[in-house]
Structure 1
Amino acid sequence: MNSIARRMFELVEPIGVIPYWADEPTEAMFALGFDNYWDTYFAGRAAPLGLATAEVVDALFYNFAPGEVGRHIPTVWNITTPEAAITARQAGCATALRRVLGEIVDTSRFEHAAELLIKAATSAPCEGRPMYAALRAIPIPHDVVTQLFHAASLLREHRGDGHVVALMTEGVGGLESHVLLALDMGMPAEKFGRIHHLPATQITTVIDGMRDRGLIGDDRWLSERGRAVKQRVEALTDHLAAPPYDVLSPHELDQLETTLEPLATLLLAAQPW
């Protein structure tokens, strides 16, 4: 695995997932007229794509069950616009960052970290990276806290585009990727948060298909082959996620890592799970 890409993923991911656990971004989206979390998820994440169809969003997000995206896209755009959703999401996430990180966001080291992360996040080629390319088209925010979130979002979508490629290379479908992750974590697939709400028959069908391909054993846990596939997916994901960091010197990478480490610790501690 690419050690730089993996380490930066560990430090940047806690920033990038703020929209999915903090109250402030959800409240900012609710102020636009939404009344349920999943509408805010799809509106917030799909907004850079503009008025894309459910089929396009489903293809790019990759890992939702059939029909899930269509319950939200395009109806969310009857409530607000993509532009308003982008603004609300950024504002809510910046507010959450300020709450969790406190006075750190006012330091010169934080400002420099945001500058370096933006530098990395805007340096990678867009070819073959649809979600990343869509987010790259959004102007870089002026506010330094919002900049940090925007950079983390760019890097998260860049990595996500590569992860889809890695999964497809190994023939792992979207729902199968959740099963693979859950079992690799030592959790029964049926209890995994992203798919536990699906009908039991649907989850069973996915598991049975993976068992037929030798990815899961008769004990319903990952087989040796399944673990090897998971490892190859992660290794290729890391490899494909490395280019943004090529623009940074070793000294800049050290500075960025040193500054992001305490931020990641605080953000991980604030998560409700």
Structure 2
Amino acid sequence: MTHTARRMFELLEPICLVTFFADECNEELAALGHRTYWDGYFASRAAPLGRVPAEVVHAAFYSFADGEAALHIPSAWETIPPEASLAARERGSAASLRRILGAELTGSPGLERAADLTTKAATSAPMEGRVMYAGLRTVPVPSDPVARLWHSANMLREHRGDGHIAALVGARIGGTEAHVISALAQGIHPPETFGRIHHLPKERLAAVMDGLRKRGLVDTEGHFTDAGRETQQRIEALTDELATAPYDALSPAELDELVAALEPITAKLVTAGSQ
């Protein structure tokens, strides 16, 4: 089933990425009054957790540097209710999918079937130890097929993300370290230039790299050592393993049907860069 989890991640991730890459979601959040992209991001993604303090959002998101969540939470909710931000996120993401996919795909029986099967998987996994996933499970599933497909794909993304965090914690890899390792796995060098961390203070990035060197995970030039590459591969393999549970709810025939239904949707999104 680990192969299934990896394949489903490849098929569903482009659906989720419209939230971050396309314009409609950011426009909806800005229309509510969120001043910046990151205000809207933190407010809408964390909304299913309720009005929790920044420390809880930092722990649940895991991959942001110390203090970054506190720049946006709880201030982003002071005048805009979390529920409003969450609804704007869904509206914008569904609108992006409709625009990119076009009427032929969004109105097709294949998309509706993909939404149904994705929802069946996304609402079937245990919630224990899955903070972000559990939060999304409390959100009503949309009736509109396009919104339902996005919502269920997002649930599965957060389910996988919770498992990825567990794998990182088990490997003693912190949030900023995880970005360094991800950058190196993508062939980005020096890894400090990676878009998710390049804005951090140079002293902070130097300390992270130094810690990875001391553990023997990167060499003096900032490349993977054999131990570092093995650690990265072990984390990814465990992430796949921990992401299999939702798909246990689908029969082999349903899995095949879901893959076939998603392939043309994903192909069009990939071609458009999910934007």
Are 1:153 and 2:154 an aligned pair?
yes
- Report how far residue 272 of structure 1 moved: 7.3
For 2:194, give the aligned amino acid: F
Cross-structure match for 2:182: 181
Are 1:6 and 2:19 an aligned pair?
no
Residues 213-228 of structure 1 aligned to structure 2 (within 5 Å): 213-228=215-230
Structure 1 runs not aligned, ≥5 long: none
Cross-structure match for 2:38: 38
Return the alpha-carbon distance in structure 2 between the equivalents of residues 264 and 193 of structure 1: 24
RMSD in angstroms over aligned alpha carbons? 1.1
For 2:257, give the aligned amino acid: Q
For 2:178, give the aligned amino acid: S
Structure 2 runs not aligned, ≥5 long: none
Cross-structure match for 1:71: 71
Return the alpha-carbon distance in structure 2 between the equivalents of residues 178 and 5 of structure 1: 22
Return the alpha-carbon distance in structure 2 between the equivalents of residues 58 and 247 of structure 1: 31
Cross-structure match for 1:203: 205
Return the alpha-carbon distance in structure 2 between the equivalents of residues 133 and 178 of structure 1: 24
CA deviation string 1:195-235 (max 9, x = no partner): 01111111111011000000001121010000000011000
Return the alpha-carbon distance in structure 2 between the equivalents of residues 163 and 17 of structure 1: 18
For 1:172, give the aligned amino acid: I
Return the alpha-carbon distance in structure 2 between the equivalents of residues 203 and 269 of structure 1: 34
Q: Partner of 1:17: helix, strand, or coil?
A: helix
Aligned residues: 273
Cα contact 2:15–2:274 (8 A) shared by 1: no
For 1:14, give the aligned amino acid: P
Identity %: 53
TM-score, normalised by the number of residues in structure 2: 0.97
Structure 1 consecutive aligned stretches of length 4 or more whose deviation exceeds 2 Å: none
TM-score, normalised by the number of residues in structure 1: 0.98
Cα separation, partners in 2 of 1:53 and 1:133, compared to 1, 3 Å: same
For 1:23, give the aligned amino acid: D
Cα contact 2:17–2:274 (8 A) shared by 1: no
- Report how far residue 35 of structure 1 moved: 2.1
Return the alpha-carbon distance in structure 2 between the equivalents of residues 48 and 269 of structure 1: 31
- Report how far residue 79 of structure 1 moved: 2.8
Cα contact 1:162–1:241 (8 A) shared by 2: yes
Cα contact 2:216–2:227 (8 A) shared by 1: yes
Cα contact 1:34–1:79 (8 A) shared by 2: no
Return the alpha-carbon distance in structure 2 between the equivalents of residues 255 and 104 of structure 1: 16
Return the alpha-carbon distance in structure 2 between the equivalents of residues 210 and 144 of structure 1: 45
